[in-house]
Amino acid sequence: MLAFLLIKSDPRPRSKKMQKLRKRKQSELQPHNQAHFLSNKKSSAKRAPPISGLSEVAKDPYPTHQWPTPDQCRAVRDDLLALHGFPQEFAKYRRQKPTTDNGEESESKESVLDGLVMTVLSQNTTEANSQRAFASLKSAFPTWEQVLNADSKCIEDAIRCGGLAPKKASCIKNTLRSLLERKGKLCLEYLLDFSVDEVKAELSCFKGIGPKTVACVLMFHLQQDDFPVDTHVFEIAKALGWLPAGADRNKAYLHLNQRIPNELKFDLNCLLYTHGKMCRKCIKKGGSQIKKGSSDDSCPLLHYCKSN
């Protein structure tokens, strides 16, 4: 009987011993896990805002497509710069602020809200027509308060030369109304202090303001590192092999913003846009596009297409 009790009671101390060992291991692991959690929490709270022009959660939709490389971007930028010079129409939007004769920084006459409306008016029309539409709008209604209070038909008449007048007038009115309701005044200068992601979140709240419009405002009017993808940029990027077959504009925007170095985005974007307007070999219109093996050297981009 005594032997039976000893045998029966023998596993219990071992069970307690195992429980103690488990508790000791848990106590050893817990501080590490807790410290790791707190460390992650602190680092996420202090994480700097993204500067790439993409949301932190945005991923490259074509991660296995390794073009363009930074060297390719730089080479294309340099060749187009040598061919065209920097487009004067975009010179005022470069990072350096305009200066007065005394060397002091002067304030730009264009507000961020001006830039947003100009970008809306530039949709589906030529640059000349959109500029005329904006000048006509400002002539008829010198302040944004007057535009907001004006009849929609009057706004349509003022911007009719830019095309899609009813749609654009509605977008402008809705944006102004929403901005006044949200901020109490018709001003977007507060976006100058926002990160790229914050600007995207803010402007996406306005009905009719799409990703391309936001990207243009970011690059031109807020001087942020972003790379808008319009028709010219999209078609040339496809012809150069910078995008895989079947790529669409939205995914092209994500991919190119990931691949193109921030310091090259502004100049390269402006030069591709300008070149696309001037060189029909680089735009897919009427079946005309860059072809591999072409012996035509009039376009410097043909060389890059041959090498892809």
| Percent of all residues in the chain with a pLDDT value above 70, rounded to a whole number | 71
What are the catalytic residues?
212
Instruction: Report all structural domains of the chain as residue ranges with CATH numbers, in order of start.
Output: 61-95+225-308 (1.10.1670), 109-222 (1.10.340.30)
pLDDT tier at 95, thresholds 50, 70, 90? confident
DSSP letter string over 232-294? HHHHHHHHTTSS-TT--HHHHHHHHHHHS-HHHHHHHHHHHHHHHHH-GGGS-BTTB---TT-
Cα gap 164→156, rounded to integer Å: 9
- The long-range contacts involving 80-86, CB below 8 angstroms and separated by at least 24 positions, are 80/268, 80/271, 80/272, 80/274, 80/275, 80/300, 80/301, 81/267, 81/271, 82/300, 83/275, 83/300, 84/271, 84/274, 84/275, 84/278, 86/267, 86/270, 86/271
Average pLDDT, the chain: 80
Which range (24-33, 40-49, 167-176) has the least confidence? 40-49
pLDDT at 34: 41
| Percent of all residues in the chain with a pLDDT value above 90, rounded to a whole number | 65
Which range (7-11, 112-116, 220-224, 266-270) has the least confidence? 7-11
pLDDT at 16: 52
Cα gap 16→103, rounded to integer Å: 81
pLDDT digits (tens, 9 = 90+) for 188-203: 999 999 999 999 999 9
Q: What is the mean pLDDT of residues 69-85?
A: 96
Contact (Cβ atoms closer than 8 angstroms) between residue 116 and residue 221: yes
Q: What is the mean pLDDT of residues 128-144?
A: 97
Residue with more model confidence, 57 or 265: 265
